[in-house]
């Protein structure tokens, strides 16, 4: 596994498409801002944190736009643990899918090789008889 799944998210962030963990420093002061030392460390070394951050931003953004800043402030921290669990499940499913796909491709390739080898053996046996 290289850490990147087909949904564009990943087990570990790289910062290639920007940092996602933490608050936008222009919008709010926080000990964890996007691109800060702590934010980068969480994204680089904590599995599924980038996925959780993306999902968290979508959820809290929807809450803020529908119910306002007070609702956002009230739900910001408490939504992180269940979203983190969801992110781990999402990344696990993506990894399992990749493993299954790779195994299926390997089995097909092996079956094809065995089939070709079997035909060659049969043809050689026919020539000997």
Q: Please check whether residue 46 lies inside any domain of the structure.
A: yes
Long-range contacts: 94-97, Cβ < 8 Å, 24+? Answer: 94/5, 94/6, 94/7, 94/9, 95/1, 95/5, 95/11, 97/6
pLDDT at 60 over 70: yes
Total domains in the fold of the chain = 1
List residues bridging with 23 in a β-sheet. Answer: 33
Range of the domain at 84: 37-128
pTM of the full predicted structure? 0.69
**30-56: average pLDDT:** 87
Q: Please check whether residue 72 lies inside any domain of the structure.
A: yes
Q: What is the pLDDT of residue 5?
A: 47
């Amino acid at each position: 596994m290289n850490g990147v799944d087909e949904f564009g998210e990943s087990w570990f962030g790289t910062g290639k498409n920007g940092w996602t963990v933490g608050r936008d420093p222009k919008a709010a002061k926080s000990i964890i801002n996007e691109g800060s030392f702590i934010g980068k460390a969480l994204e680089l070394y904590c599995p599924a944190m980038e996925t959780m951050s993306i999902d968290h931003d979508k959820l809290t953004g929807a809450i803020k736009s529908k119910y306002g800043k007070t609702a956002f402030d009230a739900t910001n921290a408490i939504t992180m643990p269940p979203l983190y669990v969801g992110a781990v499940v999402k990344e696990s499913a993506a990894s399992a899918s990749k493993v299954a796909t790779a195994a299926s491709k390997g089995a097909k390739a092996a079956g094809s090789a065995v089939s070709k080898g079997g035909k060659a053996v049969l043809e050689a046996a026919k020539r000997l008889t």
